[in-house]
Every structure is written in structure tokens, then in C-alpha cells.
Structure 1
Amino acid sequence: MIIDTHQHFWYYNPVNHDWIDDEMAAIRRDFLPEDLKQVYKEHDITGCIAVQADQTLEENSFLLNLAHKHDFIKGVIGWVDFQSDSVQNELEYYAEMPLMKGYRHVVQGEPDNSFLLRKSFLNGISKLKNTGAVYEILVFSHQLPAVLEFIKLFPEQQFVIDHMAKPYIKEGYIDSWALLMRAIAKHENVSCKISGMITEADYKTWKTIDLMPYVNVVLEAFGPQRIVYGSDWPVCLVAGSYAQVLNVSRDFAGQLSKEERELFFYKNAQRIYTI
């Protein structure tokens, strides 16, 4: 059994998806459940978590509707404006929907490296504690100092770091990222997705051996009880196929025991996202 904790659906729009630059032109098209269902059938994937790509409430409705129609979509990570005066009402509204598993904000796109520490944002995050929802942290590695301060403020909130906080794999930088990831991992309410690696490496020349030092830091820091598998489909397609992404994770998991592999590929996801 494998649960893919990170993938996206969209009707491609050049305005909404302006982050898809010329190097990523291969994914400038629609990606819908029918596309992913065939991929999952080929690779024996049980189900997935659909993650927001647009920062709108309409995106939540879009993903939740897809999840209701396709039972392999086990949950949704949506978006609300945590700085809004209406955030409490929105969280209460979505708390009534079992398929809404959590939220994220595209913090990596914020010019302010201390965005996570804005008082208005912190106030919104504080309201999550009564909902049981996960908060996913999407940042670049240079934003990790703020992440460390952020998670310290919410010891009872379940956090998941997306894409291993996007280390600079292409450039070969690891030490400062590893130092901060180890510090963050000391907080047991934080888990990490083994995802998004091949798009942080060189799209055309990456090899599995290039990725393993980064994945092994995450394993050492978080342990097998707080890591989950994610493909980042269809974004991963700019650097490789779904099979290549899955094979990287299987190669990594070869060092784990049978019980630890089960944790990584599905049991941790079942617990974190209450599947």
C-alpha cells in the first residue's frame, strides 16, 4: 500500500499559474484525476492527498468536489487567508468537511522572509488548534530560520514540511539546511514530506545519488515515524516521470525495515491526515 501525500490538479491558466515558467513548459496544460488515476494504476498507488495550487477559496471547492467524486483522493490540503478577519468562520465551515485535512500558504512566494511571524498570520494559525487540521509549511530553505521560530509558538499544532523545505540540491548546498532541519525536527509535532527533490536538483542531469544525502538528513532528523512519501505530480514531470520519483523513494526506503517502510509509505500518512 502507498499513499501519495502530495499532488495537484488544475485547469491550466497562464495568469493563475504564472509560476510555471518556460523551463516548466511541459506542465502548461490541464491535470485532472483521470490523468492521475491511470498513473496510480500503473504503479499500484492506493490514494493521495490533493494539495492546493491556487490561493483562493474557489480552489478549496474545486479540490473537495474532485475528492467527493474520486475515492482515491483521500483528502485535501486547502487554503484560507489566515490574516483575514473572517478566518475563524472559514475554519469552522471547513471543519465540518471530513475531506478537508489541512491548509497551507505559499510562503516560498512571499518576499518577506519573516512572513510566518507576522502577528496577523500567527493569530490566524492559533485558531487551528480546535479544528484538528494540519498546517503544511511550504518554504525555501533560506526561510527556515523563521520556520524554527514559528513552530516553537505552536507546540500542539500538527505541522508538515513540504518538499523537505526545498534544499539547494542543484547547487550542492547542504550544511546550513541540515542544521536547521535537525533543529526543527526536535519538535515532535513536525513531520516532513520526502517529496519535490528532483525539481530542486538539475532537471536534466540529476541522479539518485545526488539526492540521498538530503533524504538521509531528513531520516536521521525526523526518524521513520515522521516522514511521508509525496510525488509532487504533475510538477515532478518537468524533471522526470512518476516512475522515477517513486523509484527514488523506493531506493531510499531500501535501508528501512519492513515496518519502517510501511510507516513511510502509508501508515504515517493515515495517522497525520486521519485517513
Structure 2
Amino acid sequence: MIIDAHQHFWQYHPVRDAWINESMQVIRRDFLPEDLAPVLEANGVHGCVAVQADQSTEETAFLLALADQHDIIKGVVGWIDLRADDIHEQLSQYAAQPKLKGFRHIVQGEPDNRFILGENFCRGIKALSQYHFTYDILVYPKQLPAVEEFVQQFPQQQLIIDHLAKPDIRAGELNAWASHMRRIAQSPNVYCKLSGLVTEADWQHWQPDHFKPFLEVALEAFGANRLLFGSDWPVCLLAGAYEEVKGIITDYISTLSTTEQNKIMGGNAISFYHL
């Protein structure tokens, strides 16, 4: 079974979605399950994990409502204020939602590169494992030193790095990012998504070869058992069609065993998110 482990839905709102700037006209509209379903079918993908794009409890409710209505959504990664004093009460209520698999905070947008190490934030992370929730790590390379410290604090928590931590593929800046990722991967509870790559490259002029050095580091560091395919649809449409994004990954892993390919393209998502 092929699972897209990372995509988004939204009903476009110019204020809430101000991050979609003038250069992103192609995604300045609604994107809903009825838009994605034919794309998944055309690409032989059997389901997806819907990930939050807005930091609000309303976003979590929105995604869960869509998941109740559309079987293609196998799991939801929502948002919760991990620093809240009543974090346990909130998580206890969310634990009753079978399709809610975990949470994400847009740490890449925080001005403090060590935000992820904040005492209250880490208190919230510590609570997640008690309710069997995962946590998606969304950061830029400059925040990876803090992530190294972070993952070591939570050896029992299922963690996953989104978009390979957004390396600068356009500039080909590999070495510092690779060193951090290799050290982070030494924690066996940390997984990584092969997603969001085309939007870190030159949107108009990328070539498949541009991604290979970064994919090689990811495969070497995490192995086939801890890598997940994700499209980052519809954000990926800024730089490539769904089939192109999927093709970058399937072409790269084509020399692996069938078992390893199946894990990356779906098995690991099913296992990590308990789909």
C-alpha cells in the first residue's frame, strides 16, 4: 500500500494564510479532499496523512472533520498548544479521536532557534507519549543544533523530521546540514520524511540529480526503515506536479529491494502513524 505521509488541505483565507505570498498564486485557492482524490488515484496512492498548516485548534477540528468524511485520509497531524497548562486534559480528549495520530508546531517560524528546547514546550512533548501521539519536527537547518539536543531528551517519543529539515537544495549547501542529520538519526526513535524537496530547489529549473546528494545522506543516516514518502501537496505545485514529486523518490529508491521500497512508500507511514 502506498501512503502519502505529508499533505495539506485548506479553505484559502488571505489573512490566516498570509504565508501564501504573491509568488505563490498557484496555491491561492481552496484545496480539499475532492481535489486530491483523483490525483492520488492517478498516481496509485491509496491514502494520505493530512498535516496542519495553521496553528489553531480550529485547524485540528477542520482536518478531523474532513477525515471523518473522506476515507483517503488515513491519519491527521493536528496542532495543539504544547505549552498549555491543561495539556493533559486536552490530550485526553483528543485521544478519543481514532484518526488523530499526532501534532506539529511550526517551529521553523519561531524567531528563537532554540524554541524547541523551551521548558513549557518540552513539558508538552513529554506528555504526548502517554497518549500515544507522534510529533512532527518542522525546522530549518539553522535550528538543527537545537533539534540534536531535543531528540536526546525524548528517547521514548516517536518523532519525525518533516521535509528533511528543508536543506538549501537550490544552493547545494550539504555539509553542515548532513552532519546534523547524521547525529540526529543516531536516535532510533527519529524518522524522516522525503518530502518538500522541490520547493527547496529552484522552482523552475530543478533537475532530479539536484536531490540525490540529499537523499543519499537521508538513506545513509536513517535507513530504509525510517524514511517516509510525502508529497507536500498542494505546496509542491509551486515547483512540480504530483507525479514529478513522487517520481523523484521512486526513481531514487528503485535500486533498493522491493521490501525496502514498499516500506518507504507506505509501510513506514502505516507503522509510524499507526494507520
TM-score > 0.5, shorter chain as reference = yes
Q: How does 1:203-242 map to 2 (within 5 A)?
A: 203-242=203-242
Q: Percent same amino acid among aligned pairs?
A: 51
**Deviation of 1:255 (Å):** 2.1
Q: Secondary structure at the match of 1:254?
A: helix
User: Structure 1 counterpart of 2:226, which letter?
Assistant: R
Partner of 2:87: 87
Within 1, Cα distance between the matches of 2:228 and 2:33?
A: 21
Whether 1:4 aligns to 2:4 is yes
Q: How does 1:1-275 map to 2 (within 5 A)?
A: 1-275=1-275
Q: Secondary structure at the match of 2:103?
A: strand
Within 2, Cα distance between the matches of 1:234 and 1:190?
A: 25
Q: Secondary structure at the match of 2:151?
A: helix
TM-score normalised to structure 1 length: 0.99
Within 2, Cα distance between the matches of 1:177 and 1:76?
A: 28
Within 2, Cα distance between the matches of 1:96 and 1:135?
A: 18
Q: Secondary structure at the match of 2:128?
A: helix
**Deviation of 1:86 (Å):** 1.9
Task: Please give the per-residue CA displacement for 1:174-227, whole angstroms capped at 9, x wherever unaligned.
Answer: 000000000000000000000000000010000000001101100000000000
Q: Secondary structure at the match of 1:167?
A: coil
Within 2, Cα distance between the matches of 1:83 and 1:270?
A: 28
Give unmatched runs, 5+ long, in structure 1: none
**Deviation of 1:31 (Å):** 0.2
**Deviation of 1:171 (Å):** 1.1
Within 2, Cα distance between the matches of 1:194 and 1:28?
A: 24
User: Structure 1 counterpart of 2:116, which letter?
Assistant: L
Q: Secondary structure at the match of 1:75?
A: strand
Within 2, Cα distance between the matches of 1:243 and 1:154?
A: 36
Task: Please give the per-residue CA displacement for 1:20-52, whole angstroms capped at 9, x wherever unaligned.
Answer: 122212100000000000101111110000000
Q: Secondary structure at the match of 1:199?
A: helix
TM-score normalised to structure 2 length: 0.99
Question: How many residue pairs were aligned?
Answer: 275
Q: Secondary structure at the match of 2:255?
A: coil
Within 1, Cα distance between the matches of 2:255 and 2:191?
A: 19
Of residues 15-24 and 63-72 in structure 1, the stretch that sits farther from structure 2 once superposed is 15-24
Runs of 4+ in 1 over 3 A off after TM superposition: none
Within 2, Cα distance between the matches of 1:56 and 1:216?
A: 36
Q: Secondary structure at the match of 2:6?
A: strand
**Deviation of 1:139 (Å):** 0.3
Of residues 184-193 and 118-127 in structure 1, the stretch that sits farther from structure 2 once superposed is 118-127
User: Structure 1 counterpart of 2:34, which letter?
Assistant: E
Within 1, Cα distance between the matches of 2:126 and 2:2?
A: 32
User: Structure 1 counterpart of 2:98, which letter?
Assistant: P
Within 2, Cα distance between the matches of 1:101 and 1:187?
A: 21
Within 1, Cα distance between the matches of 2:60 and 2:143?
A: 26
Within 2, Cα distance between the matches of 1:22 and 1:207?
A: 25
